Structures are given as structure tokens and as C-alpha cells.
Amino acid sequence: MIQTHGFDERQFQPSGAFPTAFAAQELAAVAFLVLQVEDCDIGWHEEGACQVAGYEAAVQQLAAEGLVDPDRVGVVGFSHTCYSVMEALTTSTLHFKAASITDGINNGYLQYMTEADNAGNLIARAEDATIGALPFGAGLQQWLSRSPEFNMNKVETPLQVVARGLSGTNVLFMWEPYAALRYLKKPVDLIILNSDEHVLTNPAARVASQGGTVDWFRFWLKSEEDPDPAKAEQYARWRELRKLQEQNQSNARTK
């Protein structure tokens, strides 16, 4: 498992840098190896390529040491590194078994437009720098090439999309990757947390977020399910996604 945001070698972080989405200790308790990686510079034109190269090098090294199976790697992003995960899913040579993104930047067109005039256009300015152009006129061609959301047809990994739920705008913030994969008939699940916090402090919200991460990756990487009857509907939904994934893989092999 790759956790993608907030590594600090000076701090003891049992779950990871944040209690939202990251669940390193919990994943380790069910026999996952978890790697917390360092961030590349934010807003740099080559930020996405830098992050992806780091993930690829890490998996290659750990596989060479016999510590991981390169065909069973998951990746989880939160906040700014939702973009890093989406960049990896659309450009990396790694074949991630499953991925999850929670409440963050994805460098998508819908997100760019819905954030107009928010916080001094902070998100738009960061995305302009990362993509290298504004999404208008000639710059739109660069967005078509570099924005993950315009390249969702390349995603072959089941994706969990998690949004905050107390404000409709927060769901819209995470809507584009979910909607794109739905249109493309690829396995994607949308989870809405009963919270309006970015960095979660409410214990119940943390359990839902971190527990959801553990359940999602156990299901896809280890074919394991929590026997809790309260989660029966969740697993029924995910089994249908697994059938869809298997069908897509079968179709790809016969082309």
C-alpha cells in the first residue's frame, strides 16, 4: 500500500500524516506493507511525473527485495495528492490493483470551474501551474493532454472516491472522476462522509474514513471481507464492481 501525502521522518505517525483516509497501522494489522512517501514540490509543472516516478521506483525496489507483489499494489490519496493518484492511474507503468482518493485536488475541468472566486482562486492558480496553462483557447489542448480527468479512459484500476457530505458543493468537488468512470463503465464507488471536516477529528467520521480504506483494499488486494452484517450492502455492491472489472479485463484480452 502506498500512502501519498505528508511523510515526515521526524514524526511518529501511526496511521499516516492525516487521520482522513490514511490507515497505515490499521492496514499493517491485517498484513499489509504500507509505504508513506514524500511529496514532490506542489504546483511544479512536473509535479505529477515526479510523484509517479517515485511510486514506480519504490515498488520496483521493494519487489526486487522480495517484500511486495508488484501485481498487488494499492494507492491512496488525500487532499492535494488525489491528483498524484489520478496521475498515476492515467500515466504509470504500474498496474495498481485498487486506488482511493478522498476530498482533494484532481486537476479536473469541473473542479476548476466550480472553484471560481473561492479563496482567491487558490486551486485554479495551483492547477494552472501544474498543467502549465489555463484551460481556455490554446491552453485547453494542454489540459486535454495533461489533466487526468480528460484521460480517464486509461484507468484500469477500481477507484474509491470519497467526499464530504454536509455540503453539496463538497460532493461536486469530487464528482468528476466518479462520473467519468461511470460513463466508461469501469469500477468506481462513491462514499459520502457525514462530516464537513477536511482533516477529520470526529471519532465516528474517522472510523468511517479509515475503516473504509481498510475494507476497500482488503477486498481488492486480498479478496477479504469484514463479516460485520452492517457491511453486507457494501460488499454486495463491490462484488458487482468486481464482476465489471473481470468483464473489462476479459474484453481487453480478446481485443
24-83 per-position pLDDT tens digit: 999 999 999 999 998 887 767 788 899 999 999 999 999 999 999 999 999 999 999 999
Which of 24-33, 163-172, 237-246 has the least mean pLDDT?
163-172
User: Residue 120 has what pLDDT?
Assistant: 87
75-106 per-position pLDDT tens digit: 999 999 999 999 999 999 999 999 999 999 99
Alpha-carbon dihedral angle through residues 88, 92, 94, 99, given to the nearest 10 degrees = 20
How many whole angstroms separate alpha carbon 56 and alpha carbon 44? Answer: 19
3 in helix, strand or coil? strand
Domains by residue range for the chain, with CATH: 2-254 (3.40.50.1820)
Largest CA distance in the chain: 53
- List, in order, residues 6 or more apart from 150 with CB less than 8 Å away: 109, 143, 144
Grid cell 469530487 in the structure block, residue? 174
How many whole angstroms separate alpha carbon 194 and alpha carbon 167? Answer: 10
116-152 per-position pLDDT tens digit: 888 888 888 889 989 999 999 999 999 999 999 999 9
Instruction: Yes or no: say if 145 and 45 are a contact pair by the CB < 8 Å rule.
Output: no
Instruction: Yes or no: say if 5 and 81 are a contact pair by the CB < 8 Å rule.
Output: yes
CA atoms within 13 A on the CB side of 162: 30
